[in-house]
Structure 1
Amino acid sequence: MQRITLLAPPACLVTSISLPLEILNAANELARTRNRKHPRLQIDIVSQDVGPVVTAGGLSVVASATPNMIEQTDLVIIPSLWRSPVKNLIRHRWIMPWLQRLAKQQSLICAVGTSSYFLAEAGLLDHQPATTHWHYCDQFAERYPKVDLKRQYLITQANTIYCVGSVNSIADLMVHFIQRHYGQTIARQVEAQFSPEIRRPFANHAYVEEASKPHQDETIIEAQEWLQRHLRQPINLAALAKQLQLSPRTFNRRFKQAVGITAGDYLQRQRLDNARELLRTSNFSVQEVAYASGYLDSSYFCGRFKKAMGQTPLAYRKSVRGKLFKVI
């Protein structure tokens, strides 16, 4: 993911493009500190005309390209626009053909807030899950009955098209993209910089079309549920396989085929997610967090946590609580 395109029509909410851009740039610079040959992001700001564009807050951004000048891009971010989405559709009809062309090329397309109207108007969300700004959900559902509106989700994914209901949630989606393209360590470092105390993991509040269709291996579902219930205890995966009347080799093969990762990696993820939550919300010591997450050796836990998150458990706790204040 090297070429990023930011759409900037007049009256857009500039934070819905500036925030994801800053997050992506931070990840790219971290990648370049590890490898100076790693290419810089190529960034295009697109509007109907080249030149200054006045945003909803009165700030100006400079469009460097028009849609006809962008033949290919890896990711396009469409910002939320101020006021009536329907009036904006009429005012900016030039956007829809461009989005249709990008969708055919399988570019990642991310619509923030009311900009999901452009995707729906272009027919790109027919029979697909989508979300929009909460204030316009009823209007959206009435105007686009073919769209599977997910009111309770702030992020939806259907193939390469993402809809985000709020500016805050665009940060969650960008961290998800960073983890996919730059790795978990850089994602955690970026997360620590950009308000980790209010962030929720992508998987916790996103509707993903593929994820909504769970695998059908009932034995492996039983294994997943058992691992979740017993993650605080010492676990012998070979014994679990025997309990399920499978050989260890067959168990490992079926688990990876169904879930996409090994049972051991799945267990580690569950334990580390539990540890992160305890570090955020409890006053447990690091040793207590380790024990409550299934790690009998706190030094081993700290090593696993740092490898996965890019920082120690104490540093993580300080970063997520860094904006709390004391009453004097």
Structure 2
Amino acid sequence: MTPHRIAVLALDQVVGLDLGTPSQVFRTARDTDDRHFYTVDTCTPGGRPVRSTAGFQVLPDHGLELLERADTVIVPGLNGDATQRHGGVEPEVVGALRAAYDRGVRIMSICTGAFVLAAAGLLDDRRATTHWAYTDRFRQLYPKVDLDPEVLFVADGRVLTSAGVAAGIDLCLHVVRTDHGSQVANQAARRCVMPPWRDGGQAQYIERPVPQAPDTSTAAAREWARDRLHEPVNLRDLAGQARMSVRTFTRRFRAETGLSPAQWLLRERTDHARLLLESTDLSIDQIARRSGFGTAAALRQQLHHRVGVAPTTYRKTFQGRAP
């Protein structure tokens, strides 16, 4: 087995966590004989040291020539004005990225690394995302990009982008799942002490007024509901768990999650059904009951609305690619 070669392109003011994420996630993806599916190396323009935002310098082993041998290129997030204005990316970096893409390489960015891909013209007329805090500036600079600031990551053909910081982990796990199936991705997630996927998008992290006092939070009620997805749970039950009136609970629930209780419960049940489809051999009827939909028809309708495919198709996609 020849491992898939990943090149991480570090530019000046690289975000420390973003830089380490690809190596951490992809090097935990292994087969049953403990052989690695990926190799991960880091490069910089000219092989020169670059500064990170974490107070240390990065001394790479490679220059941009690494991109010529890579199967996937990842640009971590950056801090600083240079990436957020036209012309802030060195021409040699733009040329190396475009040459890699033209050669058929998969191109990825984490967080504000999307500014680099956009400066190289690789996001024009594509759907993409970046950290929600930089949405307005990104749209001003790159109006040709179809920016979606509410998702954790976007996969548009061979170009993939993720939201801020930790969303890079979600994107890397998605790539492992796409390349080698759910089983390998789930094992990698466990080694990273991460869930195989996170619920919702980055809209839930956008700053908004949120009650701060712990005794007014709806978190405990949400955990209570997660343990009972197979049971009928209604709004009054949830409010009772939080010791609030239905009206107060609904208002605070939406402030904390960005969703109504009904929308949140539907999302949780759909995601639980997805997990069961990926990781078990239960029948569609059994999964529908265990996730609280009751019938296979109801599950089929919701899954199609949420991810655009039927339960059997979803199962075949994720279980059929396991090595």
The TM-score normalised by the length of structure 2 is: 0.59
| Aligned counterpart for 1:165 among listed residues 152, 156, 163 | 163
1:157–1:292 Cα change, 3 Å: closer
1:152–1:8 Cα change, 3 Å: same
Residues 70-122 of structure 1: per-residue CA shift (max 9 Å, x gap) = 31311111011112223595263432111111111221111112221121122
Could you tell me whether the CA contact under 8 Å between 1:128 and 1:148 is conserved in 2?
yes
| Structure 1 position 125 matched with structure 2 position 123 | yes
Could you tell me whether the CA contact under 8 Å between 1:133 and 1:165 is conserved in 2?
yes
Could you tell me whether the CA contact under 8 Å between 2:28 and 2:191 is conserved in 1?
no
The residue that corresponds to 2:183 in the other structure is 185
The residue that corresponds to 1:273 in the other structure is 274
1:63–1:25 Cα change, 3 Å: same
| Structure 1 position 83 matched with structure 2 position 80 | yes
Could you tell me whether the CA contact under 8 Å between 2:155 and 2:161 is conserved in 1?
yes
Provide the secondary structure at the position in 2 that maps to 1:90: coil
Residues 213-265 of structure 1: per-residue CA shift (max 9 Å, x gap) = xxxxxxxxxxxxxxxxxxx7xxxxxxxxxxxxxxxxxxxxxxxxxxxxxxxxx
Q: Distance in 1 between matches of 2:292 and 2:155?
A: 34
Q: Distance in 2 between matches of 1:271 and 1:294?
A: 13
| Structure 1 position 109 matched with structure 2 position 107 | yes
The residue that corresponds to 2:51 in the other structure is 54
Q: Distance in 1 between matches of 2:84 and 2:196?
A: 32
The residue that corresponds to 1:12 in the other structure is 14
Shift of residue 144, structure 1, vs aligned partner: 1.4
RMSD: 3.4
Provide the secondary structure at the position in 2 that maps to 1:70: helix
- Kindly tell me the number of residue pairs found equivalent between the two proteins: 220
Shift of residue 292, structure 1, vs aligned partner: 4.7
Provide the secondary structure at the position in 2 that maps to 1:26: coil
Shift of residue 137, structure 1, vs aligned partner: 1.2
| Aligned counterpart for 1:139 among listed residues 137, 157, 161 | 137
The letter of the residue matching 1:20 is P
Q: Distance in 2 between matches of 1:4 and 1:191?
A: 18
Provide the secondary structure at the position in 2 that maps to 1:135: helix
| Structure 1 position 35 matched with structure 2 position 51 | no
1:293–1:273 Cα change, 3 Å: farther
1:154–1:57 Cα change, 3 Å: same
The residue that corresponds to 1:2 in the other structure is 4
1:191-210 matches, cutoff 5 A: 191-196=189-194, 199-200=197-198, 205=201
| Aligned counterpart for 1:67 among listed residues 57, 64, 67 | 64
The letter of the residue matching 1:19 is T
The residue that corresponds to 2:172 in the other structure is 174
Q: Distance in 2 between matches of 1:63 and 1:72?
A: 16
Provide the secondary structure at the position in 2 that maps to 1:27: coil
Q: Distance in 2 between matches of 1:274 and 1:159?
A: 24
The letter of the residue matching 1:174 is C
Percent identical pairs in the alignment equals 24
1:197–1:141 Cα change, 3 Å: same
Q: Distance in 1 between matches of 2:198 and 2:291?
A: 24
The letter of the residue matching 1:273 is R
Shift of residue 55, structure 1, vs aligned partner: 1.3
Q: Distance in 2 between matches of 1:47 and 1:270?
A: 39
The residue that corresponds to 2:208 in the other structure is none
Q: Distance in 2 between matches of 1:3 and 1:137?
A: 31
Provide the secondary structure at the position in 2 that maps to 1:102: helix
The residue that corresponds to 2:41 in the other structure is 44
1:136–1:270 Cα change, 3 Å: closer
Residues 111-156 of structure 1: per-residue CA shift (max 9 Å, x gap) = 1122211211221111111112222211211221111111222312
1:198–1:143 Cα change, 3 Å: same
Q: Distance in 1 between matches of 2:63 and 2:189?
A: 32
Residues 13-51 of structure 1: per-residue CA shift (max 9 Å, x gap) = 1211212211110113xx2xx236x45633321101225
Q: Distance in 2 between matches of 1:293 and 1:25?
A: 38
1:187–1:69 Cα change, 3 Å: closer
The TM-score normalised by the length of structure 1 is: 0.58
Could you tell me whether the CA contact under 8 Å between 1:6 and 1:44 is conserved in 2?
yes
Runs of at least 5 residues in structure 2 that lack an aligned partner in the other structure: 203-229, 231-269, 278-288, 296-314
1:106–1:275 Cα change, 3 Å: same
